[in-house]
Amino acid sequence: MQSTCKNKAYLALMQTSKEIQECIRAELAKTDLHVTEFSVLEVLYFHGKQTIHEVAQRILVSSGSMTYVIDKLERKNMLKRVPCPDDRRVIHLVLTPDGEAFMQSIMPRHQERVEQLFGSLSEEESGTFVQLLGKIKHQLHVQV
Amino acid sequence: MQSTCKNKAYLALMQTSKEIQECIRAELAKTDLHVTEFSVLEVLYFHGKQTIHEVAQRILVSSGSMTYVIDKLERKNMLKRVPCPDDRRVIHLVLTPDGEAFMQSIMPRHQERVEQLFGSLSEEESGTFVQLLGKIKHQLHVQV
DNA sequence: ATCAAATATCTCAAATTAAAGACAAATGAA
DNA sequence: TTCATTTGTCTTTAATTTGAGATATTTGAT
């Protein structure tokens, strides 16, 4: 059948991403953070202050999970909830100095690992890769 | 920084795969199967009889989860545990006729969705995509 | 033949996640 | 203005997943 090719791409994509997730989990095991907690901090580290909703959209977890994860991160003194004065439904998340320092201490190693993973791709290939993912992602939002 | 490019690829990969997973979950919501259960059946459907261990490796879930998921699938009469006579530690999983029929009824729609997702990639691009994923996956197993 | 190590599965407790609904606040149409 | 709808967050409950350890079997070295 001709579908085999697309299906192969699909399976490869899903399995590789899961293995990477697994690899990150192993890396984080040395800290007392879990993948989802790390993902939240990562978003704040790269994008600065964000609403809970924005972070949830980026890392794709439910609002219930967000509350749970934020509670934990707040207890660990990694971030702070900051109510938004303009819209009282909204709460912003901000890294604390501790959170900032923590991220600065572990990101270099994380970045190194990411670069190692994608290091065998040329600049051009990385570009192509992102572009192809973009095409796939675009299809996700097309009605079937 | 120059790392941005690799990091972009990394983020795109992780987010796209998560969105696809989400999309599959939504699709499966119409049945009474969850993603992990479906993944197990998918492996058996494509590869035939497999040991629990083999399936776990393919779909990357812990042994504890495997037991849980298999119990559920067995209760739903989708598959059967078959002890291996050659190695008494080993248990094979086999689709029941019901499981086979069920998969045959939902796979066309699933395949269609996969093909739609990857449909905007040419044959050549699909090939490239798989190849690039292969390179990344290979790096995963390289010591750092 | 014996025994340590490796392998395959299972059990159980604890952590995590999702799902549904509640609530408060903002928006926008009438 | 008013009210229905939407949005953002939280609560609660139930389902799922992990992680560590238990058990049984096999493998391989001595």
Q: Is the CB of A63 under 7 A from strand D?
A: yes
Domain ranges of chain B: 4-140
pLDDT the model gives residue B128:
94
Report the distance separating Cα B53 and Cα B60, nearest Å: 10
Instruction: Write out chain B residues lying below 8 Å of A136, CB-based.
Output: 16, 20, 117-118, 120-121
Q: What are phi and psi of B33, to 5 degrees?
A: -110, 150
Amino acid code (one letter) for A58? R
Report the distance separating Cα B70 and Cα B37, nearest Å: 8
Contacts (Cβ under 8 Å, ≥6 apart) of B128: A128, A132
Helix/strand/coil (H/E/C) assignment for every residue in chain A: CCCHHHHHHHHHHHHHHHHHHHHHHHHHCCCCCCHHHHHHHHHHHHHCCEEHHHHHHHHCCCHHHHHHHHHHHHHCCCEEEEECCCCCCCEEEEECHHHHHHHHHHHHHHHHHHHHHCCCCCHHHHHHHHHHHHHHHHHHCCCC
Best interface-test mutation with A: which of B40, B113, B129 has the largest number of A CBs within 10 A? B129
pLDDT the model gives residue B26:
87
pLDDT the model gives residue A3:
55
Give tens-digit pLDDT for A2-47.
Answer: 457 788 899 999 989 999 998 888 888 888 899 999 999 999 999 9
Arithmetic mean of pLDDT over chain B: 92
Residue A124, CA distances (Å) to A33, A55, B26 in order? 34, 30, 35
Give tens-digit pLDDT for A63-108.
Answer: 999 999 999 999 999 999 999 999 999 999 999 999 999 999 999 9
Q: Which letter, b or e, does each residue of B83-103 get, where b requires 16 or more Cβ atoms within 10 Å of its Cβ?
A: eeeeeeeeebbebeeebbebb
Written as six digits, the tokens of A56 are: 């949830």
Contact yes or no for B139/A119 (Cβ under 8 A): yes
pLDDT the model gives residue A140:
87
Report the distance separating Cα A21 and Cα A1, nearest Å: 31
Q: Which letter, b or e, does each residue of B35-63 get, where b requires 16 or more Cβ atoms within 10 Å of its Cβ?
A: ebbbbbbbbbbeeeebbbeebbebbebee
The owner of tokens 């009605």 is A143
A57 touches chain B (CB under 8 A): no
If one compares A143 and A112, the residue with the highest pLDDT of the two is: A112
Residues by CB within 7 Å of nucleic chain C, which ones?
A 34-36, 61-65, 68-69, 72, 86-89; B 25, 29, 51-53, 56, 63-64, 66-68, 70, 81, 87, 89-92
Q: How far is A142 from chain B (nearest CA, A)?
A: 9
Name the nt closest to A54 by C-alpha to C1': D8
Comparing alpha-carbon positions, the chain B residue that sits nearest to A24 is: B140
Instruction: Write out chain A residues lying below 8 Å of B137, CB-based.
Output: 12, 15-16, 19
Would you call B5 and A134 a contact, using CB atoms and an 8 Å cutoff?
A: no
Contacts (Cβ under 8 Å, ≥6 apart) of B35: B21, B24, B25, B28
Cα A141 to chain centroid, rounded: 20
- The residue length of chain A stands at 144
Does position B52 have pLDDT exceeding 60, yes or no?
yes
CATH classification code of B4-140: 1.10.10.10
pLDDT the model gives residue B2:
47
Give tens-digit pLDDT for B56-73.
Answer: 999 999 999 999 999 999
Comparing alpha-carbon positions, the chain A residue that sits nearest to B112 is: A3
Report the distance separating Cα A4 and Cα B20, nearest Å: 18
